[in-house]
Structure 1
């Protein structure tokens, strides 16, 4: 993500690190026993968190390519990606709830870890990284489309 999205990729990576540490903290705090299905849910959840960051960064780049300013691109990209990310994550939580309600043993473990992972993903990789990105843009540290991996030749003039 860092190579593809530059500084927003660094922010997304920081959000993923915070997400992973918080998840491990929840595991320790709740005294979860991590089984093989739990590890699979852990990996799946991290993949979904990476996907959420990619969706957000691509939407921001798309707005920049359409000729918008950096600030308006970040606002519009965060807003449009939020619907997509929440839709997929809420659907996954519903499926995890059904698996937990009707499953047994390791299926319940997979579902529980997946639900916890998705909730933390929404908190850290959606709200936290969006907040950090907006903060850096408003502070003037992210001013140019090049810092988002968008070349000047890709930007359409309005």
Structure 2
């Protein structure tokens, strides 16, 4: 391993602290009305498009009950709509409403302006290098998670075969 445990811990600490600083520094007033993580659910739903709640929960990595609370709140606030699933009339799919898209646009615009202020003394190259490093880190975390999920799936499949 090229990176020492102390350096890896330092990166984890900084990522945690950056996440908290981003939320505090760049938060929008409307976000305060939502459950913590509500904006993340809305962003992920916008990226996923219309889908079932359980699919979105799996994609984000939260429990079905936590997703249900978020979706109920977002529907109540008018940011998400529920529709009958065209492939199964017994099921519903959720999607971002026009009001939800407007909220996300306002939040993104405000956050971009805020981050531009914070990075005012950075060069474009510095910002691009930081973006690339963060992108690579996120990609590798996703790859690791995918490998872990595949291994877990394989293990559970083998256990089911042994029981049969």
TM-score range relative to shorter protein = 0.3 to 0.5
Structure richer in strand, relative to its length: 2
TM-score normalised per structure 2: 0.32
Greater relative CO, 1 or 2 (CA 8 Å, sep 6+): 1
Structure richer in helix, relative to its length: 1
